[in-house]
C-alpha cells in the first residue's frame, strides 16, 4: 500500500476484520458517503459480510456487496489534515486500482 490515500476496487479490500474507509454508493436514501467498515466472518449479530459500527454507536450496519463502491486504508493521524476524504465520484467502469478482475 504505497499510496494509502487512493481509492481501490472492493475486490482487493482486506477481509481480515481490519477497519477501512469505504465509499457507499448513492441511492434513493441519499448521496454517496464515506464510512468506516470491516469484514465480519459472521457471528450471532449477522451473516458474513461488510459491517460498520463506528458511524452509529450501538448499531451495527450491514452493507451488501453492491452498496460499496471502493475502499482505501484508514489514514494515519495527521494534525494538518482536518477532514475525511470525499466519496469516489467517478464512473464505475473507470479503473480505480487495477482491473478489478
- Residue pLDDT, tens place only, 37-55: 999 987 776 778 999 977 6
Q: Read off the pTM.
A: 0.69
- Grid coordinates 448499531 are at which residue? 59
Q: Check residue 93 and give its pLDDT.
A: 57
Mean pLDDT of 71-98: 71
**Would you place residue 1 in the very low, low, confident or very high pLDDT band (cuts 50, 70, 90)?**
very low
Residue 72 has a CB neighbour count (10 Å cut-off) of 22
98 or 16: which leads in pLDDT:
16
Mean pLDDT of 20-47: 89
**Burial classification of residue 24, based on how many CB atoms lie within 10 Å of its CB (0-12 exposed, 13-18 middle, 19 or more buried):** buried
Amino acid at each position: 500500500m504505497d499510496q494509502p490515500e487512493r481509492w481501490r476496487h472492493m475486490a482487493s479490500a482486506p477481509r481480515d476484520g481490519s477497519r477501512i474507509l469505504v465509499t457507499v454508493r448513492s441511492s434513493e436514501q441519499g448521496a454517496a458517503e464515506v464510512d468506516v467498515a470491516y469484514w465480519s466472518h459472521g457471528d450471532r449479530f449477522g451473516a458474513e459480510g461488510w459491517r460498520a459500527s463506528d458511524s452509529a454507536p450501538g448499531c451495527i450496519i450491514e452493507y451488501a456487496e453492491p452498496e460499496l463502491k471502493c475502499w482505501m486504508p484508514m489514514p494515519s493521524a495527521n494534525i494538518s489534515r482536518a477532514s475525511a476524504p470525499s466519496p469516489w465520484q467517478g464512473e464505475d467502469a473507470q479503473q480505480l486500482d487495477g482491473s478489478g478482475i
